[in-house]
Structure 1
Amino acid sequence: MSRSLSLAAYLAYARRTGKPGVAPDMPRPEGPLIWAHAVDAARADTLVHLAERLAQQRPGAHMVLTTSGPAPERLKAGGPVIWQPLPEDSIPAAEAFLDYWTPDIVLWTGGDLKPALLISADKADIPRYLVDADEPLLERPAWRWFPDMPRAVLGGFVTILARSEAAARVLRRYGAPESIVTVTGPFQEGTMALPYTHAEREELASLLRSRPIWLGAMIQVAELDTLLSAHRDTSRLAHRSLLIIVPDDLEDSPAIREVLDAQGWRYVVWSEGELPTETTQVILADTRGEMGLWYRLSPITFMGSSLVSGQYGRDPNEPAAHGSAILYGPNVGRYLNRYSRYAEAGAARIVRDTGTLAAAVQRLIAPDQAATMAHAAWDVASKGAAVTDSILDLLLDRLDLLEAKR
């Protein structure tokens, strides 16, 4: 059998054996639509973030996001992302999906390429992009039986962004044109710097001078005893230490004040306009929309909602984007991939109780220790943001080109 017939044989098989699938239960939104596929939960979260940024810059743009598993947890009702299960890799299923959604662009992440789906997009004249191409996800045993298939599938992409040089070598070995492959590093969600009031930051920095500061962000009442015990232990080593507490739920502020009063802490309440003095031990930052201020003031952040069971953690990208070292508890299931990424880079450290939290804070109040972790956190966050920016630019440029042709 010739090389050209092998691909034709696969596609013929994919046409005979496939079924159209179940029709979606929602209409296609008006305006530009990207079909994006995520091979895992981490990439799904990153694509949701990308869609939110795309919608900010191109109002009315939407993304239909497919996964082989369940819908991402962070999807927002009424947001720019519509989740759908990935159609089976057959011609009838691909044609039914593309006819219904009529996407303007296909954005495929990682690998695990589906030939019938992707080549059907070519036949529908839909430009497609492969981003975050990852070496282990590109190897497909079936390709040995259809040797011309990888060349046809990879050659149909407008651009391929590879996660590593190793991935780029695999792509070239399978026949991807050199001209369309670029090594960018991993596609990981980053976070834009949060707003803050410069004058407030300068005033507080002057009042606090060189005091050791650490932040407890998104704290549950059930975590408060651990947090305060760790702060008391730290204060014995560094008596000028200051803890900033941001409740996860502002309605918990009265309960937090009761605990602070009962334990005899000297504290100020930010929502009441109180400013810290030299003897203040705790700031209760019970307002919303000012995390940019607290992250900038605090070289160390403990991300709360992570010590007690039943919680799932909060987003570590926020402190990382502001150059803060990250501490976190074991219950971060919703953001596990992100915490793992920062931990592997030496930018985050897990704590489990008062002793481990106090030990971590005491180590990090040495400026060089916190600075090392904070720099690593910022480096990871900024690299992820740079790749996201480049992908966003690709999408916007292509949408501009498509709009100009209409």
Structure 2
Amino acid sequence: MAPAPLTLTIRLYKALTAIGAPLALCAARRRFEATNGPMDRLTERKGQPSLARPDGPLIWMHAVSVGEFLSILDLVGDLVKRDTSVLVTTTTTTAADIAAKRLPEGAFHQFAPLDTPQATRRFLDFWAPDLAIFVESEIWPNQILACETRGIPRALINARLSAKSVASWHKRPKTAQALFSRFDRIMCQTDSTRDALAAFVTKDAALSTSGDMKAAAAPLPVDTAEAQTLGVDIGDRPVWVASSTHEGEESIVSAAHGIVTSQAQNALLILAPRHPERGDAIETQLRADGWNVARRSAGTPITPETQVYLADTLGETGLWYHLSPIVLVAGSFAPVGGHNPYEPAHFDCAILHGPLYANFAQAYGEMADCDAALEVEDATALGLSVAGLFNSPRLRTLQDNAHTYVTAAKNNRDTVVQTLLSLRT
């Protein structure tokens, strides 16, 4: 069955992005500067390569940021073992930094081209991928249509649609059909996303549920030498982690730690912001709140006087989870939809989260049902919950249930790999 015809909305989008390409590049430059991006690689956003194309089959996989990138890392490893190179593109500098450290041999990173006709053309002319894979909710009309025109198969994996996104697409059903029907395969995190997309996909066989790829990911790496050193520095102090905090959440965490230390005076907070480049501002705020702060990026050691350890580095999240029995998964007090609860579950952590977790609604719902995670509404509830878990039998219950949950989480990654490889040109 042929894909749905293009709509006026899509045709206008193509025209406007062509005309507005210089403005889009200016906006990308500002984001690069704001996030300390490598300016010598800004041309990658124009579709101009900074690496040579390897010989042989090449799969292009686009994952916008850190969470999406980490969700496909093991999948990338599976694919390169099948004698294919994998080009991974991301948009954010943070994801690029992690990719540089963790991509396996046979895979490499470039910044994603802007979704303009010009950048997309340059990108596809050079890389000529045999398969284009978009991750979660990356729907870029120019890239999708250009791949179709060139006969490059297209897949959307780990697809996720929030209730807001579903409602938005249903207001533009013909445009949704024109885009989603151009994927050769769509593999969804949940049945609810699959059912929502069924209205927009012209081939039933193209749509399936594969589960959340994040659940199938291997545990985060841990530097054992650093873990031993920091473990000695921390000693037997009560410790908890606030992971992936966003702007506005540090004040909540700081207030909560005030409650924790009122009940456990020597408690240590490890605060790991989602964007480490915010470290200066966060340190200033914490010191203004009266905390004795040691900073990871500055090499400041943890001493008995340290009350907050500001873990403003990349690629060490597994280390913090290894060191702490209690983890607040942040991004859940800010309107960003929450972050990955599977990662701390691999480390037998008791998992707490705030009320804003739309991106992981199914996971947190299931974890609540099996007493594997605890929702806290505000700073007071967070502080009381953390303090209450120290030396409580409930801590072990939450830890055991979180580990059991993530161990039982099902995702047929081998089937996903075989499906993707079968699509290659």
TM-score band, normalised by the shorter chain?
Answer: 0.5 to 0.7
Q: Does 1:375 align with 2:390?
A: no
In 1, Cα distance between equivalents of 2:156 and 2:249? 44
1:101–1:54 distance in 2 versus 1, CA, 3 Å:
farther
1:188–1:300 distance in 2 versus 1, CA, 3 Å:
same
Which residue, out of 343, 358, 371, partners 1:318? Answer: 343
Deviation at 1:247, TM superposition (A): 1.7
1:357–1:320 distance in 2 versus 1, CA, 3 Å:
same
Deviation at 1:221, TM superposition (A): 3.7
Asked if the contact 1:296–1:322 (Cα under 8 Å) also holds between the matched residues in 2, the reply is yes
Mapping of residues 44-59 of structure 1, within 5 Å: 52=76, 54-58=78-82, 59=84
Secondary structure, in 3 states, of the residue corresponding to 2:397?
A: helix
Asked if the contact 2:75–2:417 (Cα under 8 Å) also holds between the matched residues in 1, the reply is no
Give the corresponding residue for 2:169: none
> TM (normalized to structure 1)?
0.57
In 1, Cα distance between equivalents of 2:248 and 2:157? 42
Cα displacement string for residues 138-175 of structure 1 (whole angstroms, at most 9, x for unaligned residues): 9xxxxxxxxxxxxxx99xxxxxx999xxxxxxxxxxxx
Give the corresponding residue for 1:195: 221
Q: Does 1:359 align with 2:384?
A: yes
Structure 2 unmatched ranges of 5 or more: 15-55, 61-67, 89-110, 114-128, 141-146, 160-184, 196-203
Deviation at 1:77, TM superposition (A): 4.1
Q: Does 1:272 align with 2:298?
A: yes
Deviation at 1:314, TM superposition (A): 1.9
Deviation at 1:105, TM superposition (A): 11
Q: Does 1:332 align with 2:357?
A: yes
Secondary structure, in 3 states, of the residue corresponding to 1:322?
A: coil
Give the corresponding residue for 1:243: 269
> TM (normalized to structure 2)?
0.55
Which residue, out of 342, 345, 361, partners 2:367? Answer: 342
Deviation at 1:394, TM superposition (A): 5.4
Deviation at 1:297, TM superposition (A): 0.5
Deviation at 1:244, TM superposition (A): 0.5
1:254–1:49 distance in 2 versus 1, CA, 3 Å:
closer
Secondary structure, in 3 states, of the residue corresponding to 1:256?
A: helix
1:194–1:348 distance in 2 versus 1, CA, 3 Å:
same
Task: Give the root-mean-square deviation of aligned CA atoms.
Answer: 5.1
Asked if the contact 2:158–2:213 (Cα under 8 Å) also holds between the matched residues in 1, the reply is no
Q: Does 1:252 align with 2:283?
A: no
**Bigger radius of gyration, 1 or 2?**
1
Give the corresponding residue for 1:10: none
Cα displacement string for residues 278-306 of structure 1 (whole angstroms, at most 9, x for unaligned residues): 23211111111111111110111112222
In 2, Cα distance between equivalents of 1:49 and 1:338? 20
Instruction: Give the AA of the match of 1:381.
Output: V
Asked if the contact 2:158–2:212 (Cα under 8 Å) also holds between the matched residues in 1, the reply is no
Give the corresponding residue for 1:81: 133
Secondary structure, in 3 states, of the residue corresponding to 1:358?
A: helix
Give the corresponding residue for 1:297: 323
Cα displacement string for residues 385-405 of structure 1 (whole angstroms, at most 9, x for unaligned residues): x64344357559x86xx99xx
In 1, Cα distance between equivalents of 2:253 and 2:385? 12
Secondary structure, in 3 states, of the residue corresponding to 2:244?
A: strand
Q: Does 1:216 align with 2:268?
A: no
Secondary structure, in 3 states, of the residue corresponding to 1:366?
A: coil
Mapping of residues 112-131 of structure 1, within 5 Å: none
In 2, Cα distance between equivalents of 1:84 and 1:20? 16
Cα displacement string for residues 232-263 of structure 1 (whole angstroms, at most 9, x for unaligned residues): 11112122211001122223222222222222
Instruction: Give the AA of the match of 1:247.
Output: P
1:369–1:51 distance in 2 versus 1, CA, 3 Å:
same
Asked if the contact 2:254–2:289 (Cα under 8 Å) also holds between the matched residues in 1, the reply is no
Deviation at 1:334, TM superposition (A): 2.5
Asked if the contact 1:300–1:324 (Cα under 8 Å) also holds between the matched residues in 2, the reply is yes
Asked if the contact 1:226–1:353 (Cα under 8 Å) also holds between the matched residues in 2, the reply is yes
Secondary structure, in 3 states, of the residue corresponding to 2:243?
A: strand
Deviation at 1:107, TM superposition (A): 10
Q: Does 1:230 align with 2:280?
A: no
Secondary structure, in 3 states, of the residue corresponding to 1:189?
A: helix
Q: Does 1:391 align with 2:418?
A: no
Deviation at 1:316, TM superposition (A): 1.8
Deviation at 1:326, TM superposition (A): 1.4
How many residues in Structure 1 have an aligned counterpart in Structure 2? 303
Asked if the contact 2:242–2:272 (Cα under 8 Å) also holds between the matched residues in 1, the reply is yes
Give the corresponding residue for 2:34: none
Secondary structure, in 3 states, of the residue corresponding to 1:279?
A: coil
In 2, Cα distance between equivalents of 1:106 and 1:258? 42
Mapping of residues 2-21 of structure 1, within 5 Å: 21=5
Asked if the contact 1:313–1:334 (Cα under 8 Å) also holds between the matched residues in 2, the reply is yes
Deviation at 1:315, TM superposition (A): 1.9
Secondary structure, in 3 states, of the residue corresponding to 1:283?
A: strand
Asked if the contact 1:32–1:104 (Cα under 8 Å) also holds between the matched residues in 2, the reply is no
Cα displacement string for residues 344-392 of structure 1 (whole angstroms, at most 9, x for unaligned residues): 33221111212211122122223532232122222222233x6434435
Instruction: Give the AA of the match of 1:203.
Output: T
Secondary structure, in 3 states, of the residue corresponding to 1:216?
A: strand
Asked if the contact 1:49–1:189 (Cα under 8 Å) also holds between the matched residues in 2, the reply is no
Secondary structure, in 3 states, of the residue corresponding to 2:290?
A: coil
Deviation at 1:199, TM superposition (A): 1.0
In 2, Cα distance between equivalents of 1:220 and 1:108? 24
In 2, Cα distance between equivalents of 1:354 and 1:106? 38
Asked if the contact 1:220–1:249 (Cα under 8 Å) also holds between the matched residues in 2, the reply is yes
Sequence identity percentage = 25
Instruction: Give the AA of the match of 2:376.
Output: V
In 2, Cα distance between equivalents of 1:133 and 1:321? 21
Asked if the contact 1:46–1:188 (Cα under 8 Å) also holds between the matched residues in 2, the reply is no
